[in-house]
Chains A and B, each alone.
Chain A
């Protein structure tokens, strides 16, 4: 099934958790340093990654610190 991570389309297996997707995404070095996650525009706390099962069409946003005013 298809999901998007930071507006990029990815194909993943069915019944996979957010934690698994993030591990895979990290291994591909797409994530560096601190980050937080929103799923379909709702915040998901780190402690909930493993029990959050993804569905087709889900949109994941991975946010990291940047400079700001």
Chain B
């Protein structure tokens, strides 16, 4: 079943990062195995002594996927604005994964700068995909500003801790029924992604969980399957939980030895 990010129609619900893989070749194979149609990447100062960035960029280009550049490393709205403009020129896309970090320890997004930045970028014609915490009000404010896509974290970037606060994530889904919600960051295992999809999230963005697996290609496939399973589970309509046991086998016609004498 198709879905869309800012009018871009997609069939796959996994957005994948391009960092931390053992090699560019493994990155390419894992991304292909994931079936993802969107790949994240970034910009940094070029170091003349190493051209690893150029090599990974060539591999990413060959994949031919929709690019989602991020603003990793930015701490203020001004820094974000400059980097976003640079990204738009290089990657020829209005899409920007808005990251503005407020704390170095857990890389938690700065909500004040995030809102300021989203407003500024939208005014300049960017299509903003903000990475934020699972704070409902921040998510609401971002949506009200014009972010059609909201990307709350599952847990801090790279921790692999999974969904720290399922209640918050479910509440965001319930309160923002029309927003495109993508769970971003902190996902460790395929079941984390599956749970998010069962909640009704539209997609999942991850990187470390695949790149740092012993076998990134196999893990990419596992995530693709988990996301598909969770998505189908949500669409199928999950049965409500019940407090008491209910026999699943009909009691009518049970064997004679169960009959009361």
Contacts and interface: CB of A to CB of B under 8 A. Distances in A.
Interface of A: 6-7, 29-38, 41-43, 45-46, 61-69
A36 B78 contact: no
B70 A68 contact: yes
Interface in B175-209: 206-208
B70 to A, nearest CB: 5
A48 to B, nearest CB: 11
Interface stretch (B36-44, B159-167, B218-226, B236-244): B36-44
B82 A62 contact: no
Contact of A34 (B17, B40, B42, B90): B90
Nearest to B76: A41
Contact of A64 (B20, B44, B85): B44
B117 interface: no
Contact of A36 (B54, B70, B89, B207): B89
A43 B86 contact: yes
Given A63-B90, A65-B57, 5 more contacts: A41-B78, A43-B89, A45-B89, A46-B89, A63-B45
Nearest to A41: B82
Interface of B: 17-21, 27, 40-48, 51-54, 56-57, 60, 69-70, 72, 78-79, 81-83, 85-87, 89-91, 157-158, 206-208
A32 B19 contact: no
Contact of B57 (A7, A43, A66): A66
A63 B43 contact: yes
- Most A CB within 10 A of own CB, among B42, B60, B70: B42
Contacts of B40: 68-69
A45 B85 CA distance: 8
B57 A34 contact: yes
A64 B207 contact: no
B151 to A, nearest CB: 12
A6 B86 CA distance: 15
A32 B21 CA distance: 22
